[in-house]
Chain A
Amino acid sequence: MSTHLSSPPSPAGRRTASWPQITQVEGLPIILVFLVLVGLFIVTAPEVFLHWPIYLSFLTTVPPMLVLAIGLTLVVAAGEIDLSFPSTLAFSGFLFSVCESSLGNPWLGLIAALAGGALIGLVNGLLVACIGVPSIIITIGTQFFWAGAASILSGGQSDALQELDGSAIYDVFAGNLFGFLPMQSLWAVGLAVFMWFILNRHRFGEHILFIGDNRQVARVAGINVMRETVKLFVLMGVLGGFAAVLLTVENLNYFSTQGQGYLLPALAGVFIGGTSVFGGTATIVGTFFGTFIIGMLEAGIVATGIAGFWVQAIEGIVFVAAVTLHLLMESPGKLRQLRALAGLGGRP
């Protein structure tokens, strides 16, 4: 049985053959931007960027943000957003520190932190999926609530956890492998690889992509949109709890505002990486390099001798440029439109 649907005139730009195979590499543009930035810093601040310590320091500072950004990549792929993760850093960090300082059991603390994150995610997920509150709204609310809860429970105090230095949990999450390689970077890279497979090769990842692409199509295809959305937010919460443990163990200190300052950089990492805010497509590789770009910019800019005031402005430029670039690459039609517009503008 065959219904021959042969060769109708095809829309322009379909033929991938005209593009070299290399452009198919996931996250290629952002990898290039990353390399160019490293090159720039090597030229402008060789005394810093030609030596290992700066890179090893990135490998200790970036991982918590990377763990968050990886989770966010999946959330954004589903066409949702989670703005409550900074409060997960605070709340789960508190649960961890309280288990350590009151019970003397950091491993229980790890479990409590992950469970606390799961609870935050579950609340978000149920509100978004079952009641239908837009995630951008509800997670602003839950961000306030859980950050507030962490402040109340901790009495706004910080909690020094110096006794963890050299303990087993410190060695596992913040120690150095072979005496130099930060353990948290291994966790983050391992997680990135695992989540790449979940997003691109697992049934759950495919469901997320279809939900983000078109909710109606997803439903018709037999995807349980409600259940998958709840699962997604719980996953994001658990990853937030894990990031909280990495952060707290590395700092050997808990403070109730430790999540502040992570919101925009983690989101920026996702979008610089090329994940579309419209949902349906996402790149873990892009997020990986996008997050390292964000983590690297501040140190890099300061090391080149430009005053620290410049950091945010330059981060802003990189962000806007990267996001615009991705959009233009995604839709060649837009590029033609722009060219036509420029052509029109040139005429008297």
Chain B
Amino acid sequence: MDKQSDTGSDYAHIVRAEGISLSYGKIRALQGINLAIGRNEIVGLIGDNGAGKSTLIKVLTGVVRPTSGKLYIRDKPVDWTHYSVREAHRLRFETVYQEKSLGEKQPLWRNIFVGRQITNRFGFIKVAEERRIANDILKRQLGFRGVGIDADSTISKLSGGERQGIAIGRAMHFDSDLIILDEPTVALAISEVRKVLDFVRSIKNSGRACIYIEHNLAHVHALADRLIVLDRGRIVADIKSGEMTLEELTKFLIDLQKSGHAAGIG
């Protein structure tokens, strides 16, 4: 991993957004988003379906370009024309998308390295090396022992928790400074949810930053240093850990929804 100045350690915010707006035709998906994530902060992103959570993540990670606004990574401005998923990877941003992170029919080793293959000069993949590292990630980092999974297992044969584990292991391997989790516990058994939450804590412990999108309020409330509430493309609340109890937060969100409906009717 190269230690260039733009991935160096001398910064206050891993990512900072200023006035980010995005419209799809007449639909305004994001409106004037201002947001700063500290270098070792777990930020929970909550809001209803369609509030703009996933769109915001896509902007931060170079999947889509906003209509307007500025982005700073490690306090340095980002040039949108050169910002892409690949560039975000290079800047050590890693996203774990729900359901969309892994190629189902491909073996595990390909999924860990896709987009960042270890190749020779002519672009041919060093398969033995990728396999060895993949097996190492499975055993050492994720503790997949004696469950019959190895580097050659096809993703379609893994359980939901195992899949999240692979995506998370990939993020750890590539030494990301910002890990974005998009509802990682959806559709998981309770025992597997606990493991994923343990991982989110370990992100914090290892000094990385994390943006954590979650529907289950109890999960984020317990974990996050800060909660950001999105509603119809705007940030409507920025709550530090301890400022609100889970009950207060729930009531706040329900009131927000009600006012939204009222506005819609009126």
The answer to the question of A11 belonging to the interface, with a C-beta cut-off of 8 Å to chain B, is yes
Across the interface, do B147 and A206 meet the contact criterion of CB distance under 8 Å?
no
Across the interface, do A5 and B100 meet the contact criterion of CB distance under 8 Å?
no
Q: How many residues of B contact A (CB 8 A)?
A: 54
* Interface locus among B34-42, B120-128, B238-246: B120-128
Across the interface, do B105 and A3 meet the contact criterion of CB distance under 8 Å?
no
- A222 CA to B63 CA in the complex, in Å? 9
The answer to the question of A2 belonging to the interface, with a C-beta cut-off of 8 Å to chain B, is yes
CB proximity of B259 to chain A, nearest CB, Å: 34
Identify which of A7, A11, A220 contacts B100 (C-beta below 8 A). Answer: A220
The answer to the question of B185 belonging to the interface, with a C-beta cut-off of 8 Å to chain A, is no
- A214 CA to B105 CA in the complex, in Å? 9
Q: How many residues of A contact B (CB 8 A)?
A: 36
Across the interface, do A8 and B191 meet the contact criterion of CB distance under 8 Å?
yes
CB proximity of A327 to chain B, nearest CB, Å: 14
Q: Chain B, 152-171, contact with A by CB distance < 8 Å: what is the 0/1 string?
A: 11000101011001001000
Q: How many A-B residue pairs have CB under 8 A?
A: 124
The answer to the question of B55 belonging to the interface, with a C-beta cut-off of 8 Å to chain A, is no
Enumerate chain A residues within 8 angstroms of B189, measured Cβ to Cβ.
Answer: 8
The answer to the question of A213 belonging to the interface, with a C-beta cut-off of 8 Å to chain B, is yes
The answer to the question of B104 belonging to the interface, with a C-beta cut-off of 8 Å to chain A, is yes
The answer to the question of A10 belonging to the interface, with a C-beta cut-off of 8 Å to chain B, is yes
- A4 CA to B144 CA in the complex, in Å? 7
- 18 A-B pairs with CB atoms under 8 Å apart are A3-B198, A7-B146, A8-B161, A8-B189, A14-B157, A17-B148, A201-B127, A202-B125, A209-B103, A209-B110, A213-B103, A213-B104, A213-B106, A218-B103, A220-B63, A220-B85, A221-B103, A222-B89
- A6 CA to B84 CA in the complex, in Å? 35
Enumerate chain B residues within 8 angstroms of A209, measured Cβ to Cβ.
Answer: 103, 105-106, 110
- A281 CA to B149 CA in the complex, in Å? 20
- A45 CA to B97 CA in the complex, in Å? 59
Instruction: Report A181-216 residues with CB < 8 Å from chain B CB.
Output: 197, 201-204, 206-207, 209-210, 213-214, 216
CB proximity of B252 to chain A, nearest CB, Å: 31
Enumerate chain B residues within 8 angstroms of A202, measured Cβ to Cβ.
Answer: 119, 122-125
Closest residue of chain A to B58, judged by CB? A220
- A209 CA to B155 CA in the complex, in Å? 14
Across the interface, do A7 and B147 meet the contact criterion of CB distance under 8 Å?
yes
Enumerate chain A residues within 8 angstroms of B142, measured Cβ to Cβ.
Answer: 2-5
